Every structure is written in C-alpha cells, then in structure tokens.
Amino acid sequence: MALNASPDLDAIVQSLSLEEKASLLAGRDFWETVPIPSKGVPAIKTSDGPNGARGAEFVGGTRAACFPAAVCSAATWNPHLSRRIGNALAEETQSKGARVLLGPTMCNHRHPLGGRNFESFSEDPLLAGKLAAQVVNGLQEKGIAATIKHFAANEQETERLSVDEIISERALREIYMKPFEIAIKEANPWAVMTAYNKINGCHADAHDFLLKKVLRGEWGWKGLVMSDWGGTNSTAAALNAGLDLEMPGPTQHRQFKAIKDAIDNGELLEVTVDARVRNILELIEKVGAFEHPEIPPEKSIDNPEHRLLIREVAGQGLVLLKNTSNTLPLKRENLKGKKVALLGLAKEALIHGGGSASLNAHYRISPWDGMRSTYGEDVEFAFAKGAHTYRQLPPLSSHCTDSSGKPGWSLELFERGKPEKPVHTEYGYKEAAFNPIGGFDSKWKNVRLSTTFVPTETGQHYLASSGMGPTSITINDTLVFEQKGDIDDPMAFLLGGVAEKEFQYPFTQGVSYQITIRSSPPGGGDDHGGILAGLQGFRMGFMYRDEHNKDLVSQAVDIAKECDYAIVFTGHLPVWETEGQDQLSFHLPKEGSQDDLVEAVASVNSRTVVVNSTGVAVAMPWLSKVAGVIQAWFPGQEAGNAIADVISGAVNPSGRLPISWPKNIEDAPAYGNFPGTKKNGQLTVHYEEGVFVGYRHYDRIPQEKLQFPFGFGLSYTTFSFSNASVSPGSHGKFKSTVTVSNTGEQPGATVVQLYIGRIGASEKHPIKTLAAFQKVFVGIGQDQTVKLEVGHRDFAYFDEASGYWKVDEGRYWFSFGQSTSDIQARVEVTIGSGKHMTW
C-alpha cells in the first residue's frame, strides 16, 4: 500500500494480519513505534519531556532548550504564557525528529515530599488543568501530539511501580482526575499516558473505571492511551481496558503468541485489538506521518525567541516571599561601589529537576553569571560555597592504574555463571561508575571493575556505593561493601538520585590498594525487572577525609561580614529532587548544611536575601532572620538572568504560589499517609485526607501553621480590590467583576483569584474552592476592571451516593483575593430554588 496524505484507516486495519496488528501494539524501541512499510504504516518518534524536547539520549545527546519546570510556569498564573510554551515546545519537538511530546505532567501536589512535584503544576486542580490545557493547545496547533500524564494519581515516587493508592471516588474526581478532565475538555490532547501505580487495587494501565467508564465514556475522549515506560502489567486486561500502546519496545506483554493465546482462550476479542490498532493509526494520521513518514535526524536549534520566552516565563514565575524594609530591588544605580556576597549555590544553574525532565540544555545561566552580566563592573561580587550539597561522593578516578598499566580501571564483562573468561575487556576505563545508558551492552552480564589506587593522603577516607543489582567491593581482597539485593527503583539509579550510605576505610599515603567492584544485573535472573531487566549499573564514590569534613561555613561568614549585601542561593540539585524517589527531608540538603549557612550569614549581615530553587515547599527555620526571600523554582536555562532581573528590579515580581507552604511537615494534609505502609510486600497508601488537599486543608487549621498561603506573592508595588459584584448570566453562568487598583509606585501585575464557598462551615466541604483567576497588569495609580465568569460546575462537588456532581442550594461567598489568606472583597450569592442542581 502506498503512503498517502489521507489513508483509509479501516482498510489498513483490515489488511493487517493478526501478527502485524500485534506488532503495532508496542514500541519498536525506546522511543519509536513499529512501522509496517508493506502496509503503508510509518513509525513515529516520541520524546521526553515536560520542560523541553530532550531527544533520544538520556545523557548528553543533542542540545535542547530547557524551559521552566511546570511548577514555575504555574506560578505565573498566566495561561497565555502556557500556550506560548506549548508552541515553542512543538518547535523543539520537531527539531528532535519527534511528533509526540511526553508531557505535560499534571498530577497534583499531594505532599511536599513528592519527588516529581516540580514536573507538575499545582495542588489545585483548576489551576493545573487550565494551564496544562493551554500547553496542549500550543503543542497541537503546530501538529505535535501532547501526551498528558500520568493518568492518574501519580503523586509519589516511592515504590511507584507497584504502590496501591486507596482513594475515594469523590477525591479522585474532584482533585486527582479534575486537571485531566479540564485538559481533555478544553484542549482534546491526542494522547494520554497511564500511571505506574495502582488505584484501589488495580494498575492504572488496566483500570476500567479510569479508562473505559470515565476517560472514553463520560468524557467522550477519543485518542491514544499509552503506558508509562515499563508501565504495562498485563496482556488482555490492559488491552480490554483501553491501553492502546505499550511503551517502550521491544514488547514485554504483547508478543504475537500472547495476543493469539488471549484471543484463543476467550480473554480478548480481535475486534478489541482492531480498536487499539486503529487508535494508533489515528495518532499517526493526526501528526502527519502518513504524508511525511520520514524521521529526520535530531538538530540543536538555539532559537532566540525561545530564549526570550524562557526568560519571560521565569521572570513571571519567580515569587517574592519576603521583602523586609524594601530591601529589594537592588537597583544598579544604588549598588555602585558596593560589595555583594553571592553564596551557596550561586555558581550552580538549577534549571531543572532530575529524571524525564532533564536534558542537555543549550546553555545554563547560573546566578553568578546572571548577576555579573546585569550589574557589570559597577558592583564587586564575592563567592563562597558555604555548604556541602552533594548527594553522592564523586566516583573514584584519580591516582588509579588498571591491570595494563594505563591510568584508570579495568572493565570486564562476563556471561552469567561463567566468571572465568570475560566476553569484553576495556582498559583505561575512566571512573568507578558504570551506567548502561549510552554504554556497553551489559544486559544479563556480570561486571568486574578493578584498579590499583594510590592515595595522596593518609586517613580514614570516605566511600559509598550502590548498584542496580547485587554489588560488592573488596579492597586488598577484604570485603568492605555488599549490597545483596536489587535497588528499590533501578530507574532512580540511572537518573543519579540514589541515596548512598557512606563508610570509612583507613588508607596510607603512597601505599597501593587493589580495589575490585563486582556487580550482577537486577531482576533475579529473569524478566521481572521490566524494561530495565538485566541491565547493569553501579558506582563507588570516594572523598578524602579533609575534603569531606571541610568547614565551608566559616569562609562564607567571613565574606558576608565584609559585604554590603549577602545573597544566599539554596535549593535542590537534580539528584536531590528527581523522578524515581521522594524527598528525603522537608529540610534543604545536605544534613542541615544549607540551613546552617543561611543562619550563619544572616547573623553577621542584616541585609541577607535567600534565593531558593526547589520545586516544592521546604522548611525555612531562618525565615525571621533574613531580609528577603525569592522562590525561584527550576526556571530553565535562563535561570541566572531571570533571577537577576527580579533582584535588580528590571522585572517587578508577579509570581504567586501555586502551592501552599506549611511551616512544618507535620501540618501537611497527607502527613501520616505518605508514602504509605507495607504489608506482605505490598506498599499501600490511604488518601485519608480526601478532598482536603492543599489550601482546602490549611483553611481548616490555625493559620500560624502556614508559612505562606496558596496564591501568595509580593510585588515591588501594591494593589487593592474594590467594587466587587456578581450577577446571574446566561446558561447558568455567573458574571463577576472587581476593580484592581495599583496603589504603589511602580507598574506591576497581580492575580485576581475568585474563590467560592458556602456560608457556614461544613465538615464535608472545603471552606472555599478556586473557581476562576486572571493575571492583570496595572500601571501606576491606574484601575482596571476584571471580569470573571464561572459556572456551577466550577465549584460543584461529587456526590458518591447519587453518582452526580452537585451544587446544594443555599448562600455562598464569592471571594476575591490575592491569596487564600488575603481576601479583599466578597459578595454573597444565593443559589438554588429548593433542590439540588446535578450533572
């Protein structure tokens, strides 16, 4: 069959043999679908991810634009920017030869320790859904398929492949499915990716309620459902539920024999297979691959317009959390001849989190670079790191000699059960780390790495190790480390975020030590490891005692004393906040070092400002002692420039928190029910907080337990709201207006947030719910009227007993605020005429 622009998809399906149909139901390789050239079916390529199109390589690879993380984009509260991000991401995806982007990620922030929160927008389903919908629209209007993920309830990384989440139907519909519903109905994404986890006992990829009853039933969505990578857990069950495409390939569950056997024994109908195949063909058609079947080579295109957009989004996403005595902005003309300390992570460009969101950025602007570029020679800057922030000791590489006499290590691969003769040997191997991505074909092979190490210092030096599978280390034939089993999440190892326990070993300067690392593949010798079954990976870190125990704080304090201002940059390196595992602590890593740095600097310099780069709320025990705080999130490749824009006043901060920020982790709504409890090998987490997630919870507890409320953010100017009104509109809508006045001395922007809640407290319902919002830019001394329209469905609740969405009759507050704790105007509205309104 010849390729053509408008193929007859039904005819293609009818022309395929069952074996050909089965082949289409899973990927060809890690990123591409299976082609059948003889039947006119081309392959299409997918690409990570939510803040940039990385291309095929996990490490290195083709350079790409790094956009702000979704939580930073959400802090703009600006859907117009989200659509422009979608447009730019489409162009980036095309440059990588792909037609499907694996994003946006849009699960809710349930708990501050969620490892992948930064990849998602918000704790609030309306804000997340509205912004994600615009990213989808921006992608697809340029011909690139969006893949909204992970459907549904992927709110933790701990044992993410198997954790069972017990969630009420009301919480599922109001909180966890709601963002997806908004994106489905407002943007019609062409693809949906299922989550790894179980929901109420059933894996998401085979979940009839999620996929059949709601997604394709009630919501009427027609598109392609794909699994997360390695997230297919069955053959017939997943196909029957509606999972079209297993990724990646080669298949684990959709071999021709497995499909045929399922049909022969009555578990599966061929008509179901046909429906899945047709959805795959429809996606191929939507992205134009029948007309243009080629997959072009990847290109690195550093687009100046994308640079500007990234800087603009980051500038609007940064949130000013504290500004005592108007310490900020530090205008250039006022800093001439001054000295400013840039401390902590000032020379680190914290542009993205770890995992699928990571990429090889075109460039990375650190705060040090951005500040120096902004202020030029007018200001003297001084730097000190001030804190140990590494998560893993660096791999041992220096002063090592392999068995051939070359610098480095001897690497040997062995077939399992045959340790006598290596099947591959390499000399001069760089370091004590082995990662299968982009490396040797080590699948189902044992690995031995050996060297002669001659230390340059005497002492009890530090080592640490981990492996994807069983791993051991011997020094002079003495066992010093042994990991007997597989690592909990091999993907976390690949992405560089595994916590390792450090230990010490006595070394003597100038003495030779024979070090040997042995490692076996994970998966217990079978295919239970999923897509990573049999792959090898391990590492051994090393650090000299004096370097490990070096006092970095004193140097930073000495510099801060001499400076007019001290800016401390704190945050999470990608290995600390990453896919594959949840946060270790509510406090900044490592082991209090960053908190100690801020405390020490603030004690000697009253004009200390903290710039924090995390995707989540963190403890701020030093908050009362510093003059200013900026939450910078992960703002993309223009990070340093965007931070300098806000610090210098070139950009008036207008970011508002898309999350609530507790003072203590114990006050988080999911505390005690995260990440769950294990019984008989099954980790289960009960969502006992129900719908009281985020501000819905914090509204009900003493406000002194809240560090910063949802929607909060300061500006270099001030705003007030007045003249609020609400009137009935057509089709059951309410038309509301409020006047926003800029009462300060600079032009700026604020976010009008409309919350709706019943008058009179109810144990069953939130005090208020975000129903609409709009970002508005207002000049000095000017007023602007903001109009917001809402419908009953925007603040309805789901009644499990009846199976309907409802709005009870009664009196409601329509509250207009700049945060959940700063309600500046409200209007009483009576709803109903003696009965519930249902949908």
Give the catalytic positions in this structure: 228
Query: What are the residue ranges of helices labelled H in 518-638?
Result: 545-548, 553-562, 593-604
Cα gap 245→151, rounded to integer Å: 14
Cα gap 617→587, rounded to integer Å: 9
> What does DSSP assign to residue 536?
-
Residue type for position 297: P
Cα gap 466→539, rounded to integer Å: 6
Contact 282, 191 (CB under 8 A): no
Query: What are the residue ranges of helices labelled H in 466-552?
Result: 490-494, 545-548
Cα gap 146→491, rounded to integer Å: 24
CA distances from 596 to 303, 383, 455, 551, 603 (A): 41, 17, 31, 12, 11
For the four alpha carbons of 308, 314, 320 and 325, in that order, the dihedral sign comes to: negative
CA distances from 527 to 251, 322, 494, 538 (A): 12, 52, 18, 19
Helix, strand or coil, per DSSP, at residue 452: strand
Count Cβ atoms within 10 A of the Cβ of residue 218 and give its class: 0-12 exposed, 13-18 middle, 19 or more buried: exposed
> What does DSSP assign to residue 693?
-
CA-angle at 738, arms to 734 and 743, nearest 5°: 165
- CA 668 centroid distance within chain: 20
State both tokens at 655: 């970011």
> What does DSSP assign to residue 575?
T
Cα gap 239→391, rounded to integer Å: 41
For the four alpha carbons of 504, 506, 509 and 512, in that order, the dihedral sign comes to: negative
Look at residues 491, 10, 54, 532 and name the one whose alpha carbon lies nearest to residue 282.
10
Find the distance separating the first CA and the last CA of the chain, reported in whole Å.
47
Contact 741, 782 (CB under 8 A): yes
Contact 809, 831 (CB under 8 A): yes
Look at residues 217, 218, 51 and name the one whose alpha carbon lies nearest to residue 135.
51
Cα gap 164→195, rounded to integer Å: 12
DSSP-assigned beta bridge partners for residue 753: 773, 817
> What does DSSP assign to residue 186?
H
760 torsion bin: left (phi>0), alpha (psi -120 to 50), beta (else):
left
Residue type for position 504: Q
- Listed in sequence order, the residues at least 6 apart from 441 whose beta carbon sits closer than 8 Å to its beta carbon are none
